């Protein structure tokens, strides 16, 4: 399977690592859309939020335990936004589930 984020997780493609644990890998977005823009991905390939099931939701809960730790590492003390794009209408460009962590400044109040 040809997946950009699987290649990043394996270290085949370099990335700006921020955090890693047994379940997830977090790295800097190559094209930041806020002063701080990180991506957190499960180490196993899951296509999107839409593919989460009873089995994989355990991994998702681990990712959501990691997000506050990542936010502390990134000094996002005044808040941040977590976003996941899904499918064509959601403008998902990489088909490996990822959560954007955006912050470091006051974000737009427009969500779409
Ligand atoms: P999506 O549009 O699928 O929600 O988000 C994909 C994100 O991956 C985009 O914000 C894009 O900038 C980022 N991205 C795409 N290719 C690379 C890459 O090779 N390295 C890194 N670090 N980020 C990437
Ligand atoms: Zn993948």
CATH of residue 45: 3.30.428.10
Mutating to test ligand 1, I would choose from 94, 96, 97, 98 the residue with most ligand atoms within 8 A of its C-beta, which is: 94
Q: Is residue 110 part of a domain?
A: no
- Scored b (16 or more CB within 10 A) or e, 67-85 reads beebbeebebeeebeeeeb
Per the domain annotation, does 111 fall within a domain?
no
Q: Are strands 36-42 and 24-28 parallel, antiparallel or unpaired?
A: antiparallel
Which ligand is closest in space to the CA of residue 6? Answer: 2
Q: Is 96 exposed, middle or buried (CB count within 10 Å of its CB: 0-12, 13-18, 19+)?
A: buried
Is residue 109 a part of any domain in this protein? no
Residue 1: per-residue pLDDT: 76
Token duo for residue 91: 């403008």
Longest CA–CA span in the chain (Å) reads 39
Whether 32 maps to a domain, the answer reads: yes
Per-residue pLDDT tens over the stretch 44-103: 999 999 999 999 999 999 999 999 999 999 999 999 999 999 999 999 999 999 999 999
Asked if the structure places residue 81 within a domain, the reply is yes
- Tell me, yes or no, whether 112 lies in a domain: no
How many H helices and E strands in the chain? 2, 5
Query: Considering the domain boundaries, does residue 51 fall inside one?
Result: yes
Whether the pTM exceeds 0.95: the reply is: yes
Segments forming the whole domain that contains residue 73:
4-103
* Total domains, the chain: 1
User: Which ligand has the shortest distance to the CA of 45?
Assistant: 2
């Amino acid at each position: 399977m040809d997946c950009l984020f699987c290649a990043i997780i394996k270290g085949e493609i370099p990335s700006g690592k921020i955090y890693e644990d047994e379940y997830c890998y977090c790295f800097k977005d190559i094209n930041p859309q806020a002063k701080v823009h990180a991506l957190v991905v499960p180490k196993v390939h899951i296509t999107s939020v839409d593919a989460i099931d009873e089995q994989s939701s355990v991994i998702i809960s681990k990712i959501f335990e990691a997000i506050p730790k990542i936010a502390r590492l990134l000094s996002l003390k005044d808040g941040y936004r977590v976003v996941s794009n899904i499918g064509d209408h959601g403008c998902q460009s990489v088909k490996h589930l990822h959560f954007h962590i955006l912050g470091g400044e006051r974000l737009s109040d427009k969500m779409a």
